[in-house]
Structure 1
Amino acid sequence: MPSGTPPLSRALASDACPHGTWEVVRALPHPRLRPGVLGYRGYRMDLAHGRRRLELPDGCVSLVFNLADPVWVTLGTRHDAPALPYTTLLSGLQTRPTFGEHAGRMEGVEVLLAPWEAFGILGHPMADLADRMTDPAALLGARADLLAEALHEATGWPARFALLDDTLHTWAEATPARAADPLRHAWSELLRSGGGLPVGELALRSGRGTRRLEYLFREQIGLTPKTAARVLRFRHAVRLIGRSAQPLVDVAAACGFSDQAHMNRDFTAMSGRSPLRFRRERAASPPGPAWVDRVTGQVTSVVLPDSVSRS
């Protein structure tokens, strides 16, 4: 970015420990990147011990650049699933929980993308990224490494967010792939309904046949319409359960589940715990960054009590 160029993003909010051990800063991208680029999140931690976080499916694609120590990530709940270290990572839409661990020292930035915007920027079928995490260099080549280096050298969050504005705009302009308008409309309708629209109704509103819509969803979202609706319905339930003491039977009804047992099954499959256990863990999470969820307005994370000491 040329010297003296003013930051293009706008700070939303910041939160910091009075003792200086952590801070989290959010920013909106430049208007030319919206609504596909949902937001930026900067974070810094210098804790005396490691932490382990539960991250839930949230309907977003995430691009992360860790500028200090790596984060160890485990996909799913299988006991033999490996924890792999990532300095940079790209996460497609998830239908299962992930666990992130660090040794106490972290600094980095996260870009949150609507899945159709990730398709436009990456120029790659999103189905290949569903329920996966990968090094973004595998898709972006040297561009990802150059951005990581520039973010590391930039001074302060405004400069880093402005760098993201310019870089993402350049990437999007250079990529021929663009999400189809009917697909964007269908995704917007599904979001608005909290995953409550049947596939047939979704196809009717998008002006596309069911088979064509399913193809577009797999290519440009990463999941079928039915599975995407399931993730968004789960996201709605997580928000209600994590932020209120509302009875679970009422949450199930409000989110469009057939009954509480249906909600319990989906919730356990996507989070690895029952709704009641999740509510207890969320309430018991330590103060600080645990309450600064990755997606603005959503409940996405829980800091778990077992700390780690990876190096």
Structure 2
Amino acid sequence: MRIAARKDMAMDGLSDTGTKVRALPVSGALRPYVRALMATEIACSGPLPMAVAPHESIMLSVNLGRAAASIEQKGAHGHNTSLTGIREWTGAFNGAGNCVTLFALLTPLGVVQLLDSQPLDRVPRIRAPVAGLLDQRVTRRLESGIALAPTLEARLLTFASWLEERATAARKLDRTALRAGRAAMRLCQQPRLPIETLADEQAVSRRQLERDFGRWIGTSPRHLAQVARLQAVSRRAQAHGASLADIAADVGFADQSHMSRVVRQLTGLTPQRFVRARQSPLAQTFRQATGGGTVYL
């Protein structure tokens, strides 16, 4: 069944502050390209303090208002769709509220496929306008479709349909971009894999692989591996309730102290505070949709 035809919205959340959250299970043609699909509607006005942890996905988001003129309430038509790369550390920000936002967590291969293998080395890491990467008619059509959908569920299905259409469209992609995407996918799955081994698998030198990552993924293999291990800590803690010492060994840190240093470097938190951070409805739904990962704190 095509994902756009699914009607089973999973992992709903609603807070007493008027935050409505929906997640759509990722299936079919989108599986290699998208980790999670989410939508949230926030009725109250900001500022809404939030924090985003480093995670191994590149976030594609569409942010519209809730008013009748929602399509231009937050920005010019076609400029409400943005891309946030793999973060270097946890970032804090104050959301404005009174909005509808849709999120797609793209895999490294997904950002290559869905964005026509656009280089990311000169793209701002935080909220880069997608209209600067693709023809603006593409983002205008997406935003119009979402704005015209009558419910949050319908908007999420519209977003999923757009993603699936781009995932399955025949297009010529850059060979080195695909190579970087495949290598990054492998590293996300096995963050303990030595970079030299990864380079050998792609038949390139380590230095060339690092250049490919910087150009097409927007980060280095080493940083992506660290972020993937950070998220593995979160998933192991949520799924198994194991001790931090056991998690450190399972994930591939030299010891618990090594894990603590890396978690502090990336998040500013101890491992215990990181895995037990107080969760908003949006954060809880992201955690469920990503198998225990931490996106929002």
- TM-score w.r.t. the length of structure 1 is 0.75
Q: Which residue of 1 aligns with 2:83?
A: 90
2:118 aligns with one of 108, 117, 124: 124
Q: Which residue of 2 aligns with 1:309?
A: none
- Indicate how the Cα distance of structure 1 residues 31 and 290 shifts in structure 2: closer, same or farther if over 3 A, else same: closer
| Pairs within 5 Å for 1:30-45 | 31-45=28-42
In structure 2, distance between residues paired with 1:285 and 1:37: 23
Q: CA deviation at 1:285?
A: 3.9
Amino acid at match of 2:132: A
Q: CA deviation at 1:199?
A: 0.8
Which structure 1 residue ranges, 5 or more long, are not aligned? 70-85, 304-311
Quick check: 1:163 aligned with 2:158? yes
Amino acid at match of 2:119: P
1:59 aligns with one of 53, 56, 75: 56
In structure 2, distance between residues paired with 1:149 and 1:168: 15
Q: CA deviation at 1:52?
A: 1.8
Q: Which residue of 2 aligns with 1:77?
A: none
Quick check: 1:298 aligned with 2:292? yes
Q: Report if the CA contact (8 A) 1:62-1:111 is conserved.
A: yes
- Indicate how the Cα distance of structure 1 residues 18 and 191 shifts in structure 2: closer, same or farther if over 3 A, else same: closer
Quick check: 1:199 aligned with 2:195? yes
- Render the CA deviation track for 1:250-282: whole Å, top value 9, x for unaligned: 3322221123332222212211222233345x1
- Indicate how the Cα distance of structure 1 residues 68 and 21 shifts in structure 2: closer, same or farther if over 3 A, else same: same
In structure 2, distance between residues paired with 1:98 and 1:33: 28
- Indicate how the Cα distance of structure 1 residues 178 and 32 shifts in structure 2: closer, same or farther if over 3 A, else same: farther
Count of matched residue positions in the alignment of Structure 1 and Structure 2: 279
Identical positions, percent: 25
Q: Which secondary structure does the structure 2 equivalent of 1:128 belong to?
A: coil
- TM-score w.r.t. the length of structure 2 is 0.78
Q: Which residue of 1 aligns with 2:134?
A: 140
Q: CA deviation at 1:48?
A: 7.7
Which structure 2 residue ranges, 5 or more long, are not aligned? 67-78
Quick check: 1:259 aligned with 2:252? no
Q: Which residue of 1 aligns with 2:107?
A: 114
RMSD between superposed Cα atoms in Å? 3.3
Q: Report if the CA contact (8 A) 2:22-2:39 is conserved.
A: yes
Q: CA deviation at 1:162?
A: 4.0
- Indicate how the Cα distance of structure 1 residues 301 and 183 shifts in structure 2: closer, same or farther if over 3 A, else same: closer
2:145 aligns with one of 146, 150, 171: 150
Q: Report if the CA contact (8 A) 2:59-2:85 is conserved.
A: yes
- Indicate how the Cα distance of structure 1 residues 39 and 251 shifts in structure 2: closer, same or farther if over 3 A, else same: closer
Q: Which residue of 1 aligns with 2:73?
A: none
In structure 2, distance between residues paired with 1:50 and 1:250: 39
Q: Which secondary structure does the structure 2 equivalent of 1:190 belong to?
A: helix
- Indicate how the Cα distance of structure 1 residues 29 and 301 shifts in structure 2: closer, same or farther if over 3 A, else same: closer
Amino acid at match of 1:40: L
- Indicate how the Cα distance of structure 1 residues 259 and 109 shifts in structure 2: closer, same or farther if over 3 A, else same: same
In structure 1, distance between residues paired with 2:130 and 2:34: 16
Q: Which secondary structure does the structure 2 equivalent of 1:186 belong to?
A: helix
In structure 2, distance between residues paired with 1:95 and 1:149: 33
- Render the CA deviation track for 1:198-251: whole Å, top value 9, x for unaligned: 112222334444334333322332222222111111211233456676443333
- Render the CA deviation track for 1:117-158: whole Å, top value 9, x for unaligned: 212322311333474331222222422233223211112345
In structure 1, distance between residues paired with 2:226 and 2:65: 35
